[in-house]
Homo-oligomer: A and B are copies of this chain.
Amino acid sequence: MDAVTALAALAQDSRLAIFRTLVQAGPAGLAAGRIGELTGIAPSSLSFHLKELAHAGLVAARPAGRFVIYTANFATMNALLGFLTENCCGGNPCAPVCTPACVSEKEST
């Protein structure tokens, strides 16, 4: 995982909105068009940003008929959170360092 790539993917209004929408949608995901409705992003722009998120490994695409279903990649998200807080305070007992924040059904193996 490239943390800078993932962070850059999230560091943008449209993409952050898309990603959070998918996190909240859970492992079932949402069709591209539905994401567009929920976020108010134009199709062209939406496609661009979904690709950026996919490139960063933060979302996955799965064709379903003439729809494309996008889902958040919870493993990447958790890895990113872990990376940010890695070895916090030099490992000294400073806090409850608990990282995984969301685990989809498929990834709970």
Q: Is A42 an interface residue (CB 8 A)?
A: no
Interface code A10-45, partner B: CB below 8 Å = 1, 0 otherwise? 111100100110011111000000000000000000
Q: Is A8 an interface residue (CB 8 A)?
A: yes
Main secondary structure, interface of A, reads: helix
A74 to B74, CA, bound (A): 23
- Which single member of B19, B20, B84, B108 contacts A77 (CB below 8 Å)? B84
In the complex with contacts A85-B102, A98-B101, A90-B16 CB distance below 8 A: no
Mark A residues whose CB is within 8 Å of B: 3-4, 7-8, 10-13, 16, 19-20, 23-27, 74, 77, 81, 83-90, 92, 94-105, 108
